[in-house]
A and B are shown apart, each in its own frame.
Chain A
Amino acid sequence: MTKLNTLTIAAARDGLRKRDFTAAELAEACLGAMDEARALNAFALETGDEARRQAAAADTRLGAGAAPDLCGIPLGIKDNLLTRGTPTQAGSRILEGFVPPFEGAATTRLWQDGAVMLGKLNLDELAMGVSTATSVHGPALNPWRADGGAKLSPGDGATAAVAARIVPGAIGSDTGGSLRQPASWAGVVGMKPTWGRVGRSGLVAVASSLDQIGPVARDVRDAAILLGAIAGRDAGDSTSSDREVPDFEAALSGDIRGRVVGIPRQYRDAPMDDAVAALWERGIGMLRDAGAEVRDIVLPNFAHGPAVFATIMPAEASSNLARLDGVRFGYRAKLGPGEGISEMYDRTRAEGLSHEVQRRLMIGTHMLSSGFYEVYFNHARKVRRLIAQDFETAFESGVELILTPGAPTAAPAADDPALLDAVTMYDAHAFTVGASLAGLPAISVPAGTDAQGLPLGLQLIGRAWDEAGVLNAAFSLERAAGFVASPARWW
């Protein structure tokens, strides 16, 4: 019999409804997988007891019939999403000991639907980075890099846990690509919905104008199911939309005949692996074969994305994270005699935050400083507007979707010097920051592998609020690509 932890959400849902197995059995299978996969360091905190309680409750509900899609489905929750009564540290020492007394709309909806929380997923400290190198828990590892310890690749808890079949799905957040680019590196689906589609209450904010909560899943259907569960108006977030949430799963017809797909042709010259360039070309062919109309488009300001991101993200973060000051919760430095509030702030933040985070907060503070605000921050805001307008122009010309690679490279090895180079790492976001800056929905779908057998993803960006269209095109692409590889187990 198939191991239950390897089932997709849709398959698990159908099996639970048919009572082929119980939610308790499903949870045990996932807990077992989690136990065996500690080497991946995907989880910051395991919540097995809670998972068993929730699974038992789900079984009762399933027994009564008519349970929601996620009833009894085990999930991982990225540890920058607050979970009531369960420690939430966001990968940082400065939130040591913080047990949230509340949580946000997105996770609340999961529990209302009967989902089962397996644990809190490892992430970069305060979600800043493209690997988990800065996490206070140490890096999570990408299950795909099996070629000996030295070659292990720092990964991301959510995508690692899903790729390693510990959980069928996870909920995380995306500021510049943190759902899509790691998904591309881990052979799973990651989706960032339209800014405002999912309420941000309960998310430890990094850059409010960029942050979105979204799903990580094994396939597009599961991403659609997860997104449908967490989307919708959040009374705790003024920027969340009260638009009706469509049935995303029902939108997955796979029929994209006549859909107009734009290809930002000038990026064919951008630095990227040959395998990525080849995959992009294949992806274009797959969409064309499925009946889509493929057009070259020009996004003149798309290349400025990483620079704009590198200005706005740290600026907003420097403001949002000012509350991590040791006064009311989390870590507080021990003070010596005669030391006062200034020392408390200085030392709490010096000891509680890693150098990478400190570096970003200092950059952000500088960007907003008197005399630099106009030159950096406000200038970046204006270019951001231009980037968004480029997308609007393309959409107005009839384009409905835009296809790009999910990341310019495959997952780097742990000893890749690029991982230590801040500028190179900004480029890892090159394809993903555009949709973040413009607030558009975007998804990364695994579509192939490179010569080493490492997964590669393609990204589809859609019109604002057209997650259904994005998911459906991704569904078509997924079927055409027929990506079935899974990481060989070495852990």
Chain B
Amino acid sequence: MLDLAMNAPEPRRIAGATGDWEIVIGLEVHAQIATQAKLFSGSSTRFGAEPNANVSYGDAAMPGTLPVLNRGCIAQAVRTGLGLKSRINLTSSFDRKHYFYPDLPSGFQLTQLFQPLVSGGEVLVEMGPGLVRRVRLDRIHVEQDAGKLVHDMDPAMSFVDVNRGGMPLMEIVSRPDIRSPEEAAAYLGKLRLIMRYLGTCDGNMQEGSIRADVNVSVCRPGQYEKWLEDGDFSHLGTRTEIKNVNSLRFVQQAAEYEARRQIAVIEDGGTLIQETRLYDPDRGETRSMRSKETAEDYRYFPDPDLLPLVIEQAWVDGLGAGLAELPDARKARYIADFGLSDYDASVLTAERENGEYFEAVAQGRDGKQAANWVLNELFGRMKRDEGVDITNCPVSPAQLGGIIDLIGAGTISGKIAKDLFEIVYTEGGDPARIVEERGMKQVTDTGAIEAAVDAVIAANPAQVDKAKQNPKLAGWFVGQVMKATGGKASPAAVNEIVAAKLGL
């Protein structure tokens, strides 16, 4: 189990011309809530629909339409908060954030500025053996996504697709507790994993289900500690915000680039401005979008069409009781209950489905053996095939378990089991039946094995003498017998009979 007795990693230091610098990073992560319907309308959230197919009159902000909250989205955000050890606010409210742009039909986005649903919380980010960064959360609020503009369909016109408009998002705001670009990526990865375990966000970054705004600043060593002491953000330097970064790799690259750019500006005698920037992954650089001076005035105010959102503690408790097991707890359980190594347990919990598969295989079987088969045979085999992962792999847990059972029952040898696995992987079918039909059963008939051993001994008198000098050479006879029996002889029986016949 991860615990805080573990050490925090050293902050990343960058040597500049004028001395060392440290990096300070905070993330605002927009995670799309896993739900069937939008936040304030009954429209579908299905990805990839025809443009404007998932748009109600309300999503299009027709006059006379009003928002009606989808409580399912709130339940998901509460689950997320509970999973991140946050405080759930029984009273929260929605506010309007205004700007004019055609991707926002009503001219305002519903969000929670003044009273968020969730406050506080933390994410523990493993950065190596015994190294854990504890990233505190400021808040999680629920808000609507905007639609998008399509500029490349017509030379003179732009088009609006509001399918994404009104989709429910959780904005998870961290404290500036992240101290290196690697930690930023690992933090986002861990957050994604936790939400996938909870089932509150599908975590599909290609489809934009998770996007991060990365806040970066640089400061001199010692300044961060001053901030921790007095809370004065000026110790941390001028921060810039890199908007809408949509992969772990880009988060890391963008933060790295931005920190170095800031150091260069300062060391060249320039002044940093608080601004919004964009990361260009093709060029590997960040570019200015707009500065704070020209930033829009969003004119937030409480939405008068929605009453304050009041939820019951009993309802929250019910959601908490049904909460899925989280990755850290599952990993600890695998180590404690199945005797797995830290590394194996990490791999098996790195995706929710890995563990689900593993546990289905381990059910009623030896956990370590099940883990070996899943990690070595199954994962090793899947790696050779493009596009195959645990969610679509051709071998079901029942099939893999069947193979392991055949070994346990002595029906097949470990070696034959690997052949059998390949057959099941490529052709499918019931392992026991395949063994039966293709004559793969292990030979345990001692008479037949004795005959085979006798034949090998008779044919190789010189080897027999050597083996009597050096008992380790018995293995050669075992190999010959296995070869002669097509690998089907029980290795245990062969070992025993070879030893006896050679008088070892």
Q: A: which residues have CB within 8 A of B?
A: 81-82, 88, 90, 95, 98, 100-104, 200-205, 207-209, 235-239, 315-316, 318-319, 322-325, 327-329, 341, 345, 365, 368-370, 373, 377
Contact = CB atoms under 8 A, between A and B. Distances in A.
B269 interface: no
A335 to B, nearest CB: 10
Given A102-B57, A102-B62, 4 more contacts: A100-B63, A237-B66, A238-B67, A328-B105
B261 interface: no
A94 to B, nearest CB: 10
B68 A204 contact: no
B294 to A, nearest CB: 13
A315 B98 CA distance: 12
Interface string B54-97: 00010011111111110000000000000000000000000010
B120 interface: no
B358 interface: no
A319 B66 contact: no
B61 A201 contact: no
Contact of A325 (B64, B107, B307): B107
29 contacts: A81-B64, A82-B63, A82-B64, A90-B63, A100-B64, A102-B57, A103-B64, A200-B66, A205-B66, A208-B303, A208-B305, A236-B66, A237-B66, A238-B69, A239-B305, A318-B299, A319-B96, A319-B98, A319-B107, A322-B106, A323-B105, A327-B105, A327-B160, A328-B61, A329-B62, A341-B101, A373-B299, A373-B300, A377-B301
Contacts of A377: 301
Contact of B297 (A98, A238, A324, A369): A369
Q: Which among A201, A238, A345 has the highest number of chain B CB atoms within 10 Å?
A: A238
B414 interface: no
Interface in B259-302: 297, 299-301
The A interface is mostly helix, strand or loop, or mixed, namely: loop
Nearest to A377: B301
A249 to B, nearest CB: 28
B63 A345 contact: no
A368 B299 contact: yes
A45 B122 CA distance: 60
Given A205-B63, A327-B102, A322 B107 contact: yes
Listed from nearest, the 4 A-B pairs whose CB atoms lie closest are A322-B107, A209-B304, A368-B299, A208-B304
Contacts of B102: 325, 327, 341
B42 to A, nearest CB: 11
B194 to A, nearest CB: 31
A238 B108 contact: no
A366 to B, nearest CB: 9
Contacts of A236: 65-66, 68
A44 B369 CA distance: 81
Interface residues of B, number: 31
Contact of A370 (B61, B65, B160, B299): B299
B305 A201 contact: no
B297 A323 contact: no
B105 A238 contact: no
A103 B67 CA distance: 15
B306 interface: yes
A201 B66 contact: yes
A374 B304 CA distance: 17
B100 interface: yes
Contacts of B96: 319
A364 to B, nearest CB: 9
Nearest to A209: B304
B301 A373 contact: yes
A319 B108 contact: yes
Contacts of A82: 63-64
A328 B52 CA distance: 12
Contacts of B69: 238
Q: Which among A81, A90, A328 has the highest number of chain B CB atoms within 10 Å?
A: A328
Contacts of A88: 63
A236 B63 CA distance: 13
Contact of B64 (A203, A235, A365): A203
A98 B160 CA distance: 19
Contacts of B105: 323, 327-328
Contacts of A235: 68
Given A327-B160, A377-B301, A238 B61 contact: no
A395 to B, nearest CB: 21
A236 B102 CA distance: 24
A322 B102 CA distance: 11
B306 A238 contact: yes
Given A208-B304, A235-B68, A238-B307, A365 B61 contact: no
A59 B381 CA distance: 77
Contacts of B101: 341
Contacts of B68: 235-238
Contacts of A103: 64
Interface string B171-195: 0000000000000000000000000
Contacts of B107: 319, 322-323, 325
Contact of A368 (B61, B100, B301, B306): B301
A201 B64 contact: yes
Nearest to A195: B304
Given A104-B64, A202-B64, A370-B299, A323 B106 contact: yes
A81 B64 CA distance: 8
Contact of B299 (A201, A204, A207, A365): A365
Nearest to B102: A327
Interface string B291-333: 0000001011101111100000000000000000000000000
B55 to A, nearest CB: 10
A300 to B, nearest CB: 25
B396 to A, nearest CB: 44
A345 B100 CA distance: 8
Contacts of B108: 319, 322
